[in-house]
Amino acid sequence: MSEMKDMITEVVERMLKENVDKDLVDTVEQGDWAPALWELFEENGMTVVAVTEENGGAGGDIEDLLNIVRLTGKYAAPIPFIETTFANYLLEYLNLQILEGLATYRLSTNQVFTLENGTLTGEAHHIPWARHVKHLVTLAYSSEGTHLVEIDLSQADIKQGTNLAGEPRDTVTFQHALVSQTSSVLSPDEIHKLTTLCTAFQLALMTGAIDKINDLTIQFTKEREQFGRPIHRFQLVQQHIVHLAGETALALAAFNNVTEALLTNNENSEVAYARIRFEEIIQAVTTISHQVHAAIGTTHEHSLHQFTRRLWAWRDEGVNSSYWTNIVALQLMENSEDSLWAYLTTSNSSSPLLKVEG
């Protein structure tokens, strides 16, 4: 764990609290973003916090970075922070050169990009922020196997699109475009490791949004009055608040377990189970918050929808729970032979049940 974590999260939360409001978040739905906020992050070294000092970074660790990602999710910051920092994290992880400027990534195992003689051909949908950034880091497939490549997006044909929350999700097409960097052929274990890291970054972002929804809902119950008293005094509302607080606590605990597991290279089981459990958390949190807010929560004037719509969009992007559910199910079936019930009920700390492999 980096000793800088508390200081970093305090600085980042103050920057976001002072500079991000509902109107700024709304700009992303108008096709714009917040370059001034990005410059502030750059000036304070937050965009390279997990890059090693040898490569010009701050020398922090993945826990520092994931906590900043969590905060950008909590404030719905309209900047490509997770995209740029994760693209650089992938490149440095595979000993490639990190990038200057904005970047994005795509890690789907659908073979849409073909690598041949150092050029890339293919089309991919739902690339985050492609219209605003300079570089794309993605998986590509050659006759030798799967590679991680980095390519300049100025060579791409970009068709603009959005997700449910109005964030940029573009279609990118390359025709024999020159690749800037290429990794060696990735092994299945390396691809699984990249997929695991990608899921951990998604969990960080969603944890921030869940935390914010909890805060908004509690605040609303203190301000909204019915029959002469705040609605949090009513027993039914209190029941909703308790349920919401419980799910939020689960999300934060799962996120903390994931970051700790990543630091000790024992992340597989934590990431898999956390991602599966987040499906229930998202359903409960969005349902309860809109129930408590009633009609005002669905209006554009209130900020609740900025976070619930992002949660619904983010859970369907990238590596979703179906991937991890299949991994866990296959692991259980392979190890239980014909006695799944006995396998589950007799498992101990050394059981493969607690160590999900890709």
> In the chain, what's the furthest Cα-to-Cα distance?
73
The dihedral built from the CA positions of residue 67, 73, 79 and 80, taken in this order, carries a sign that is positive
326: its two tokens: 């299949």
CA contacts within 13 A on the Cβ side of 330: 10
What value does the mean pLDDT take over residues 50-59? 89
Fill in the DSSP letter of residue 79: S
For Cα atoms 223, 228, 233, give the angle at the middle one, nearest 5 degrees.
60
What value does the mean pLDDT take over residues 313-337? 89
Hey, how many other C-beta atoms are within 10 angstroms of the C-beta on 299?
Answer: 10
What value does the mean pLDDT take over residues 108-124? 92
Of all residues in the chain, the percent with pLDDT exceeding 70 is: 96
Q: Is the confidence at residue 2, as pLDDT, over 70?
A: no
- State how far the Cα of 302 lies from the Cα of 271, in Å rounded to an integer: 33
Q: Is the confidence at residue 126, as pLDDT, over 90?
A: yes
Give the residue with greater pLDDT, 332 vs 88: 88
**pLDDT tier, 95 (very low <50, low <70, confident <90, very high otherwise):** very high
What value does the mean pLDDT take over residues 165-178? 97
Contact assessment for residue 135 and residue 177, using Cβ atoms and an 8 Å cutoff? no
- Which pLDDT value is given to residue 15? 97
- 20-39 pLDDT per residue, tens: 999 999 999 899 999 999 99
Kindly report the pTM of this predicted structure: 0.93
- Which pLDDT value is given to residue 346? 76
- 180-234 pLDDT per residue, tens: 999 999 999 999 999 999 999 999 999 999 999 999 999 999 999 999 999 999 9
